[in-house]
């Protein structure tokens, strides 16, 4: 049985009630950089060009890369993961921007979010997080194990001689950042359901629990998933030729422009902001895979909700590295928690799983049968998945869903509206939702939100 707990943070300097006046009183904020960056992510039409405030009557979400999102929830900005795929040095002012991924770590800092949420601690999700939190004095919400990695990142960056950039200190000091554990250390997935209280107002609340990281299990002969052809677009090399980025750091020793992270040997203009050990440090070296599932609830209007999970595990078999696993019973309990959440309007969920080679997109489809979102937006489209392979995963998803519904596969009876994203076309393309739209009106959802206590 899962228990519910409240998770609260301390005060956040300069990131509370969120108006131009608040920002004007916050030292160290470059107004023009903030306005330019927020306009880049959320659309200039949604950003006050005098103060940098983002529309308070909308939820606006922008894809950064992989499973990373920037979200403005009624004007309050948070980051969901902080990783950037193909992190390249920005061009000088007199050059065209030919980067495949026109986002830099400084862009995430210049957004001036008030919090960072990490789905899990692997480098293709948590890179840059400690750096952003340190420079902007904001909290990270994650597992206790990943919080330990974040502090290790701070120590490493503080000790980095940064010789590629003339010895300039990457961060001002090695003092710890604020990292808030959402679940207990070493807990069994699903054993706790937490309400996260974000200081600064009650525009939204967050429900969180531990689920299971993606994993490979034997082929499920009862499901008949369509295989995924994990290949990229052959035109990639013509659009984004080698030479625009330097060979990046990769824990598996792979090199090339389309890898992950920042360089193992930084070039001028770059610093190493990768996550220590790819998110795994002693004593157990498994912290990176500890995975959290979040539901965000807007507390006014029709209680617009969205869920975000940056990995999708084999819950049917309950296979993973967490305590209590493997256990199909734990997996079934996680599905039960999803069944009992307030109804979800939009799901931002990982379509890609380590298990795609044996079971295609089975696991994302099974998650949907319990989340039952009105709209589905796929994530994790640039790592594990080959860059520009998004449409191959879409093909497998649609064919698997069609076959499952037609053949009445057990447990599959629901298909959401799909808003598929293709990299890099859909980076920084704002998705705008009106929380007061009657589409989100649902009496049962309102009751569940009231019972959960997430909007108090």
CB proximity list for 114: less than 8 A, separation 6 or greater: 12, 15, 16, 18, 76, 77, 78, 138, 198, 200
- Look up residue 402 and give its two tokens: 């069609």
The CA distance from 296 to 287, in Å, is 24
- What pLDDT is stored for residue 28 in this prediction? 66
Q: Mean pLDDT throughout 195-202?
A: 87
- What pLDDT is stored for residue 13 in this prediction? 27
Model confidence at 170, in pLDDT bands (50, 70, 90)? very high
- Vertex 18: Cα angle to 66 and 199 (nearest 5): 75
Contact 208, 183 (CB under 8 A): yes
CA-based nearest residue to 364, from 211, 204, 160: 211
- Give the helix/strand (H/E) hosting 400: helix 390-406
The CA distance from 214 to 383, in Å, is 13
Tell me which residue has tokens 């509206």: 417
Least confident of 108-117, 284-293, 321-330, 398-407: 284-293
Separation in Å, CA 284 to CA 31, 133, 183, 388: 43, 25, 17, 35
CA-based nearest residue to 182, from 269, 93, 120: 120
Least confident of 14-23, 106-115, 156-165, 172-181: 14-23
Confidence check: pLDDT of 254 > 60: no
- What pLDDT is stored for residue 68 in this prediction? 98
Dihedrals φ, ψ of 417, to 5°? -65, 140
pLDDT in tens, 218-245: 999 999 899 999 999 988 878 886 655 5
The CATH architecture to which 3-228+275-452 belongs is 4-Layer Sandwich (3.60)
Model confidence at 9, in pLDDT bands (50, 70, 90)? low
Q: Mean pLDDT throughout 317-342?
A: 97
The CA distance from 377 to 291, in Å, is 19
- Look up residue 390 and give its two tokens: 């998004």
Q: Which residues pair with 378 in a beta bridge?
A: 349
Confidence check: pLDDT of 156 > 50: yes
Model confidence at 269, in pLDDT bands (50, 70, 90)? confident
- What pLDDT is stored for residue 98 in this prediction? 83
- Look up residue 280 and give its two tokens: 């795994």
Q: Which residues pair with 142 in a beta bridge?
A: 181
Confidence check: pLDDT of 7 > 60: yes
- What pLDDT is stored for residue 88 in this prediction? 80
- What pLDDT is stored for residue 368 in this prediction? 98
- What pLDDT is stored for residue 236 in this prediction? 83
Alpha carbon 225 to chain centroid, angstroms: 26
Q: Mean pLDDT throughout 161-165?
A: 91
Average pLDDT along the chain: 89
- What pLDDT is stored for residue 18 in this prediction? 31
Burial environment of residue 234 by CB neighbours within 10 A (0 to 12, 13 to 18, 19 or more): exposed
The torsion region of residue 429 among left (phi > 0), alpha (psi -120 to 50) and beta comes to beta
| DSSP secondary structure code for residue 177 in this structure | P
Q: Pick the residue with more confidence: 290 or 255? A: 290
The CA distance from 57 to 77, in Å, is 13
Parallel/antiparallel/unpaired status of strands 76-80 and 417-418: unpaired
- What pLDDT is stored for residue 26 in this prediction? 53
Domain ranges of the chain: 3-228+275-452
Share of the chain above pLDDT 70, in %: 90
- Look up residue 383 and give its two tokens: 């790592």
């Amino acid at each position: 049985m899962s228990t519910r707990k409240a998770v609260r943070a301390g005060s956040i300097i300069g990131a509370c009630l969120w108006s131009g006046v608040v920002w004007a009183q916050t030292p160290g904020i470059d107004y023009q950089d903030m306005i330019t960056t927020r306009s880049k992510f959320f659309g200039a039409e949604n950003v006050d060009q005098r103060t940098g405030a983002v529309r308070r009557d909308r939820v606006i979400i922008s894809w950064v890369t992989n499973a990373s999102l920037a979200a403005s929830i009624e004007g309050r900005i948070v980051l969901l993961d902080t990783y950037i795929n193909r992190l390249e040095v920005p061009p000088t002012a007199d050059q065209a921007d030919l980067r495949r991924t026109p986002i830099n770590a400084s862009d995430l800092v210049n957004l001036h979010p008030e919090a960072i949420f990490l789905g899990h601690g692997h480098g293709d999700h948590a890179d840059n997080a400690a750096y952003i939190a340190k420079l902007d004095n904001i909290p990270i919400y994650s597992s206790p194990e990943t919080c330990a990695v974040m502090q290790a990142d701070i120590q490493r960056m503080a000790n980095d001689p940064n010789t590629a950039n003339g010895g300039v200190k990457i961060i001002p000091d090695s003092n710890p950042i604020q990292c808030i554990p959402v679940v207990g250390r070493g807990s069994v997935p699903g054993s706790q359901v937490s309400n996260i209280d974000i200081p600064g107002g009650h525009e939204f609340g967050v429900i969180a629990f531990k689920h299971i990281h993606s994993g490979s299990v034997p082929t499920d002969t009862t499901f008949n998933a369509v295989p995924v052809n994990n290949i990229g677009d052959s035109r990639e090399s013509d659009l984004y030729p080698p030479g625009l980025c330097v060979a990046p750091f990769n824990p598996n020793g792979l090199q090339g422009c389309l890898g992950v992270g920042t360089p193992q040997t930084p070039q001028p203009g770059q610093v190493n902001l990768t996550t220590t050990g790819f998110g795994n440090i002693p004593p157990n070296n498994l912290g990176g895979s500890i995975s959290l599932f979040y539901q965000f609830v807007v507390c006014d209007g029709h209680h617009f909700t969205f869920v975000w999970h940056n990995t999708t595990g084999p819950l049917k078999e309950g296979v993973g590295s967490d305590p209590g696993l493997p256990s199909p019973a734990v997996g079934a309990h996680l599905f039960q928690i999803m069944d009992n959440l307030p109804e979800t309007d939009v799901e931002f969920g990982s379509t890609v799983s380590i298990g795609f080679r044996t079971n295609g997109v089975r696991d994302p489809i099974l998650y949907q049968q319990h989340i039952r979102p009105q709209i589905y937006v796929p994530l994790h489209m640039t790592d594990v998945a080959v860059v520009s392979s998004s449409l191959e995963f879409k093909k497998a998803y649609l064919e698997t869903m069609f076959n499952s519904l037609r053949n009445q596969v057990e447990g599959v009876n629901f298909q959401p509206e799909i808003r598929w994203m293709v990299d890099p076309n859909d980076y920084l393309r704002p998705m705008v939702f009106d929380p007061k739209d009657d589409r989100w009106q649902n009496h049962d959802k309102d009751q569940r939100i009231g019972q959960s206590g997430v909007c108090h």
